[in-house]
Amino acid sequence: MLQKVLGLIQSHQLCQPESRILAAVSGGIDSVVLCEVLHQLKYTFAIAHCNFGLRAEDAEADQLFAKKLAKQYNVSFFTENFNTRAFAEQEKLSIQMAARTLRYQWFEQVRQQENYDYIATAHHSNDLTETILLHLTKGTGIAGLHGIPAKNGHIIRPMLTLTKDDIYDFVTSERLIWREDTSNETTKYQRNKIRHEVIPVLKEINPNLEETMQHTAERVSHAESIVAAYIENLREQSIKEAENATYISLLPLQNATGLPVVLHELLRPYNFSYSVVLELVEALDGLSGKQFDSPTHTLVKDRDQLVITPRNLSSFGSITIAEGQTEAEAGNLYFTIRSIAADKYKLNTKPHVAALDADQLRFPLKLRSWQEGDWFVPLGMNGKKKISDFLIDKKVPANLKSQTLVLVSDQSIAWIVGQRLDNRFKVTDKTERVLEITMKPTAS
């Protein structure tokens, strides 16, 4: 099996032996195999894990498992908690699309900040088949028919030629342990319905369905390269990148054949759907100022050009506070941070101030939105309490609940920002150093 992976890496030039790779690891069987494959092939890699806050205790267990896996391989570990439901609701996305958008943006952020060359995902040939069928069912262009590319910019998929049977054989021979995601078995999600109800029927017609789909995807990919050459020529004529925006001149596109398809290809890096592109084409002869949104970008028609700007998704992730850092900003809140000897500190009990036992904290700290399943030990109590129950007891209005932030120390919540400290991190007569964090609105 290692030779199949190595063969794909070499034939598609996915990476080089000296490449630094950031492995996307959920803790499931596929990503565990990815780690072992990278380890056995002697690649330098790190583990990146997303907690989407969707499965409460199970999500926390997955996060801990991924952290232990990184320790087992003695590699760096990066993790992020997302308020996926809030993002999906605001952007009117499915939970799956919201998670995908947040996940890949964060992976790329870590890759750049930590100087990794590639992001590796554990997609395999069964995933490719499911993706093509899903795209065909919902409607797709050429890109949808090639399924999942082995390499897409900085994203590589070294396991794409492996089947699920290959993966099960490998974990058996290597005696690997993984986390089972029970949501994979439900047919509530579209992809699972394809996996469990559609593919078994198609395999009765063609037992080699995965191999056939892979060959079809390769042929489509070659055809797409011909189209890509035409699109690239138009891209060079029409697109100008600036520091905070992308400008697309409409003049070179006036005589383009199949304008909706051309625009869709030009806008693909910014995640605009084909239906949005059709609306845009209808609006090209109209007045300036009309706005169109994708999950990651906003587009405005401005006279004879389109102006594209990235959307701010940081409020759905977290803000990291390193040891020694003296200030931080999260949304419309500004935080000042100071460390002081306990014997020189006068305790401040105002709700916008957190006075914490510095030696009980584990850096880096994180500021993030609270999530379902989060719990803490309220100051003055010994038992834990779910934050959802705490907010209900406090009668926090529904539209303000989603704005509630928490301060996290190594997966433990130390402060519900502006409301209550966690009893485990309070200042006591044994405290030697106090970390004081003061919050205020950025407008003040």
Report the distance separating Cα 349 and Cα 436, nearest Å.
Answer: 11
Closest of 234, 286, 240 to residue 261, by C-alpha? 234
| Binding residue positions for ATP | 26-31
Sign of the dihedral through C-alpha 200, 202, 203, 204: positive
Amino acid residing at 263: L
Report the distance separating Cα 119 and Cα 418, nearest Å.
Answer: 37
Instruction: Show the tokens assigned to 121.
Output: 């995902």
Using DSSP, state whether 440 is helix, strand or coil.
strand
Using DSSP, state whether 171 is helix, strand or coil.
helix
∠ Cα 180 385 417 (to 5°): 100
| 81: region left, alpha or beta (phi > 0 left; psi from -120 to 50 alpha) | beta
Give Cα 252 distance to the centre of its chain.
Answer: 35
Residue that the structure tokens 């999500």 belong to: 59
Report the distance separating Cα 251 and Cα 39, nearest Å.
Answer: 51
Check if the beta carbon of residue 66 is closer than 8 Å to that of residue 128.
Answer: no
Check if the beta carbon of residue 19 is closer than 8 Å to that of residue 42.
Answer: no
Q: 223 forms bridges with which residues in the sheet? A: none
| Binding residue positions | 26-31
Report the distance separating Cα 274 and Cα 267, nearest Å.
Answer: 9
Continuous H helices in 342-419: 387-393, 398-401
Continuous H helices in 357-415: 387-393, 398-401
